[in-house]
Amino acid sequence: MHAGRRFTLAQVVYWTRRDLYVFAVVACIPTALYYFFDIKWLVIPWVAIALIGTAAAFLVGFKNTQTYNRLWEARQIWGSIINTSRAWGILVKDTVNADPKEIRTLIYRHFAWLTALRYQMREKRVWENMELKSNVEYARFYKIPERETPLEEELKKYLTEEERLYVLSKKNRATQIISLQSRQLKALKDSGSLSDLDFIELERTLTALYDQQGKSERIKNFPYPRQFATINQMFVRLFIGMLPFGILQEFAKLTKDIGEGFIWVTVPCSLVVGWVFHVMERIGESTENPFEGGANDVPISNISRTIEIDLREMLDETHIPPALTPVNDILL
């Protein structure tokens, strides 16, 4: 998540500069053929270009709306995780009549669940965009916490060695951690440390966490439909490729009064118009997957740390980890 006022023009140009080089070559080819070889028929009527541009703009707008909805839904899910986690903390603290170590275990195991879930959300998928050169390059300006430390090391902070090895042996680690929570709650109920009503309420809270985990996994594991993503990119590229041929004829009309060299203004004009469409398409693409580790992700690492701070303070602990802060305005 960008935590500053806005991305600067220099940052956006830097992010898309590789594509600008390609657009410049595409615009230079017809212009050079027109100027050096006097090939005057290298023009396309504006009606055809406008029709394709309209279709491309419609698809770009549709995609950006849908990808924003995916991003906002992901943020709402993790907002619910914050609220449910706080509820878990006060319910455990105030309803479990057992050794304080039991309460601490339940809350620390919740930290382990948050950790396992965010690591699962950062796993790579073939349809994600973080492998693009521009995104890899831009990722050097910030840090992805889940890529800095292995999950095995992180879980040592919250689980016993036996539980850690058990959880790591499973495919869906977050699911198994909630299962361990439920098992402990049942043991507390059977021992009389937890009333039946409180047991039911805590189980409902675990069910709510499962529900939020499932919603998060749905967004992670189901991409923006590939047919729409494909046709969107194809139309934008087709429009950018045809654009110089339409602009060429317009500037050719002005060369009679200004001079033949004026035809080269076709190149920067095509670059600017094509870049606008391309950036709109790339913004939608970078918003498709809100957990992939991109600069526009939902800040699940920061949310997890916020929850951990809140629950540790409920336990009256003094050694509280610091809140995560943005790195170059990027907060993950």
Phi first, then psi, for residue 330 (nearest 5°) are -105, 125
In 3D, which of 143, 69, 141, 173 has the Cα closest to residue 302? 143
N-term to C-term CA, the chain: 6
The predicted pLDDT at position 42 comes to 76
- pLDDT over 80 (residue 221): yes
The predicted pLDDT at position 257 comes to 65
- pLDDT over 80 (residue 312): yes
CA–CA dist 302, 330 (Å, integer): 11
In 3D, which of 101, 314, 69, 106 has the Cα closest to residue 202? 106
Query: 34-85 pLDDT, tens per residue?
Result: 888 777 777 888 888 889 999 999 999 999 999 999 999 999 999 999 999 9
Q: Which residues contact 289 (CB under 8 A, 6 or more apart)?
A: 70, 125, 127, 128, 129, 220, 223, 224
CA–CA dist 121, 293 (Å, integer): 9
Query: 14-25 pLDDT, tens per residue?
Result: 888 899 999 999
- Residue 26 · residue 278 · CB < 8 Å: no
The predicted pLDDT at position 234 comes to 92
- pLDDT over 70 (residue 203): yes
State the DSSP H helix or E strand holding residue 163, giving kind and residue range, or none if neither.
Answer: helix 161-168
**Which two tokens mark 12?**
């956006």
% pLDDT > 90, the chain = 60
Length of the chain: 332
CA–CA dist 185, 167 (Å, integer): 18
What angle, 0 to 180 degrees and rounded to 10, lies between the N-to-C axes of helices 161-168 and 173-190? 140
- pLDDT over 80 (residue 235): yes
CA–CA dist 74, 137 (Å, integer): 25
Per DSSP (E only), the strands in the chain are none
The predicted pLDDT at position 259 comes to 67
% pLDDT > 70, the chain = 99
pTM: 0.91
CA–CA dist 132, 137 (Å, integer): 9
The predicted pLDDT at position 265 comes to 85
Q: Which residues contact 318 (CB under 8 A, 6 or more apart)?
A: none
Query: 120-165 pLDDT, tens per residue?
Result: 999 999 998 888 888 888 888 888 989 889 999 999 999 999 999 9
**In angstroms, how far is CA 287 from the centroid of its own chain?**
6
**In angstroms, how far is CA 139 from the centroid of its own chain?**
12
CA–CA dist 64, 71 (Å, integer): 10
Query: 168-202 pLDDT, tens per residue?
Result: 999 999 999 999 999 999 999 999 999 999 999 99
- Residue 288 · residue 276 · CB < 8 Å: no
CA–CA dist 108, 123 (Å, integer): 23
